[in-house]
Amino acid sequence: MTAAMQVRLETTAAADHWGKNALLSFSDSEARIHATEATGGILVATQRGARRLDGMGVTAVVLAGDHWDLESRWAFWAGYYNPNRKSTLDWGVGEGEELRELEARKAASLWVREITNGTPENVFPRALAESAADMLQKLAPDAVSYRIVSGDELLEEGFMGIHNVGRGSVRGGAMLQLDYNPTGMDDAAVDICLVGKGITFDSGGYSIKPSAGMAHMKSDMGGAAMVSGGLALAIARGLKKRVKLYLCCAENLISGHAFKLGDIIRYKNGVTAEILNTDAEGRLVLADGLIAASEQNPRYILDAATLTGAAKMAVGRDYNSVLSLEDEMAEKVLSAARSENEKAWRLPLESFHLEQIPSGFAEIANVGVDGSPGASTAAAFLARFVRDNGRGWVHIDLSGSYLPAPNDQWAQGAKGHGVRTIARFLLES
C-alpha cells in the first residue's frame, strides 16, 4: 500500500533555494503548495500544484494543515484527477457538512468526467441515456422516474431531429425523459426543464470533419453529461423542486441511410429546417428536447451543449458561454457561475439573429449566412423551438468543458466545468 504524501497549503513564498516564485517545495514525505499572487492566487495555485504532483506520479495524498478550506480542497481535486490513473485523496476533514459537500461534488463531477471520457464504442446513445438515468435514480430512488424513447418510437412521438441525425448509425438515437419529483404529487408543476445535447460521436456526417477535428468527438455528448451531473449535485444538496430532464442522444455517422445536405426536417411544432451542413447536428437534436420541455410549461428552461467552435474561438476553453434573449435569464446563470467559482461569459443573442438563418426551401436553415456569428445563430436556431420564441430560456455553449490536451490546471479530457453552475441555477432560480 502506497504511503500518502501530506500536502500543505501555504500563503507565503517558498524559500529562495526552491527558485523564484516556486509553486512547490518539499521536506521528507511532505509537499507544500505556495499559493501567492505570483503563483496565481489560492485556487489557481492549488490546482496547478495538484497537477504538478500528479505529473510526478504521486498517487496518494492527504491534505494537511490549517490553511485548507472547502474551495481550495475542491480546487486540488479538480487538478489532481487523472483519467489514466486511480489516485487516492484524503480531504483532511472530519465528518460534517464540508465533507458531505465535497463528496457530493466529487460524485457528480466524477460521473461527468468519466462518462465524457468514455469510448464511443461503450458510450453510445442508449447507453448514455441509461447511465444518466441509473445514476440519478440511485441518488433519489423514490423521486426519480424515467422512460427512454428510441427506434420507431422517435418517429411515432415526433422527435424528428434525433431520428434524422441518428439514422446513419446502426445504433439509432434515443431520448431520455426523466422526471425528478420530490413532491410526491403527480400533478405538481414542473419548475425547471433541463435539455442536453448527447451526440456520443460526431463524424460531421457528410460534412465530414478532418481527422484532427474528429479525434475528440466522443466528447460531443458533454451537454447531456453536464445537465445530468448538475441535477445530481442539486439533488445531493437538497433540491425540492420538480425538474424534468431531456437528453437528446445520437451518433452522427455516414452511411447510405444518413441524413444529407438538402434534406428538410419538419418538427413536431411545425417548424421546418433545411440541412445545409450535417456537422451542425447538435441543434437539430436539441430542438426535440426544447419542444418537449416547452410542452411542460416550466418557469425556466436551460439547455447545455458542446454546440459551436465559434464559442471556443470567442472565449477559449476556460469559460463556458451563456446566451439568452432575456437579460434576466443570462444573469441567473452568470451569477450562479460566480457563486460557484466557475467561469462563464455572455455572448450576444438578439432577435435579429433569428433572421440570419434563412432558407429558400424551409422556414430556417441549420447554419447561418456567411459572416454571421456562429454561436449566436446556433442559439437563434434553438430559440425557434422554445415556447414564445425563447421565453424563460437560457443556453450554455460548453466551450470550457473539455480539453483536447492537458494544461497546468486540468488533465486531458472532460473538466466537469459547469456542473456546479447548473446545480446552483436549479437551487436558487
Task: Give the CA distances from residue 79 to residues 76, 83, 88, in Å, rounded to whole numbers and listed in that order.
Answer: 5, 11, 13
Element (H, E) at 171: none
Which phi and psi (to 5°) does residue 230 adopt? -65, -40
CB atoms within 10 A of CB 186: 7
Closest to 177 measured CA to CA, from 288, 307, 265: 288
Determine which one of 51, 113, 218, 283 is catalytic. 283
Contact criterion met (CB below 8 Å) for 414 and 112: yes
Side chain identity, residue 244? K
- Alpha carbon distance 384, 290 (integer Å): 9
3-class SS of residue 123: coil
Based on the residue annotation, tell me whether 283 is a catalytic residue of this protein.
yes
- Alpha carbon distance 135, 128 (integer Å): 11
Q: Which residues contact 229 (CB under 8 A, 6 or more apart)?
A: 108, 109, 111, 112, 416, 419, 422
Closest to 300 measured CA to CA, from 419, 417, 421, 428: 428
Which residues are known to be catalytic?
Answer: 209, 283
